A = this chain, B = another copy of it.
């Protein structure tokens, strides 16, 4: 099987000139942003392609200065880039100059998608099962074999994909789109302009258990999930309903695939989490944070605004200060790792040996008792309310 990936061609009917695209981007970016064109405005463009694989009928972009070296050799017909990089562009390549080329590229992909993808047909598919007490806004599209339970409310122009399940009294905001096979539990609320991918489960029970001598007794999860506007949620991600109050996801939050958000978590506005990360119960995460892929944040913590957690790291204490935090074991060849791992389990002893050597040599005390503790983790079934 060939492994090349060639970018996306535009159907012939949508082929545009560089000048037309510049106008499209200017309009999409809005007032304060300027898009200036330099070079041949009449050049015909029919594909978006990466710099190193673009042909003369493709438009490409340079956002990350790290890739600036690719500019000189590109065969792209047009490139979106910042004015500072303009000089590196080959002769004959049309430049679309703008202060934030990555933002402009994002708008270009949106324009492209709108032209190449059919819009879902409004209306209720005849095989959908819609309770007569559900309320559907104007322009709503309900896919094949979807189920809308009693009292649910679907906002104007929202799209409910095939085979979705919307629980009773749940509310979906205007223009929000659900891919096929999304589950939204009863009483849960999703804002406007959202996008939920297949396999997402909103409002399953949080993991609340009271340990007794006869085993665990279930704590019914009486809260729900409230999700703000412009939230995107990746495939197979789960957001649990709260134990008493709600689990709350702020406006503009972006979640990747296979993420776990436990009960009563609060995520601040415009926080983004990469795939396979997780937030344990009752933790409050600030605004504009990024949580790397596979990272885990333990329960009952507070994470400040603008905290960035590296991939695969474990957050076991509250973080009051913005910044980048990291904690994963550095990879090594297996043999070296084994040697270092064994030694690591004796690290405390090694420090005492160094201290003994220092004492023997009359070194001044350079090793006060550590004051920062690596907080141990709570057992997983710990009480999560009060």
Contacts and interface: CB of A to CB of B under 8 A. Distances in A.
Interface in A205-263: 205, 207-210, 212, 215-223, 226, 228-230, 232, 234-236, 238, 240, 242-246, 248, 250-252, 254, 256-258, 260, 262
A218 B354 contact: no
B377 A292 contact: yes
5 closest cross-chain pairs (CB), A and B: A5-B245, A274-B380, A327-B331, A204-B235, A113-B220
A294 interface: yes
A216 B109 contact: no
B244 A235 contact: no
Contacts of A308: 379
Interface in A142-191: 143-145, 147, 161-163, 165, 167-168, 179-181, 183, 185-186, 191
Interface stretch (A15-23, A86-94, A132-140, A342-350): A342-350
B219 A106 contact: yes
A80 B67 CA distance: 56
A320 interface: no
A222 B370 contact: no
A330 interface: yes
Contact of A367 (B52, B70, B217, B353): B353
A270 interface: yes
A103 B323 contact: no
Residue from A298, A328, A363 having most chain B Cβ neighbours under 10 A: A328
Given A274-B207, A313-B329, A324-B334, A290 B376 contact: no
Interface in A302-346: 308-317, 323-334, 336-346
Contacts of A350: 343, 350-351, 354
A42 interface: no
A227 B102 CA distance: 29
A27 interface: no
Contact of A258 (B258, B317, B331): B258
A70 B386 contact: yes
Given A222-B48, A336-B348, A377-B326, A236 B290 contact: no
Contact of A5 (B223, B262, B315): B223
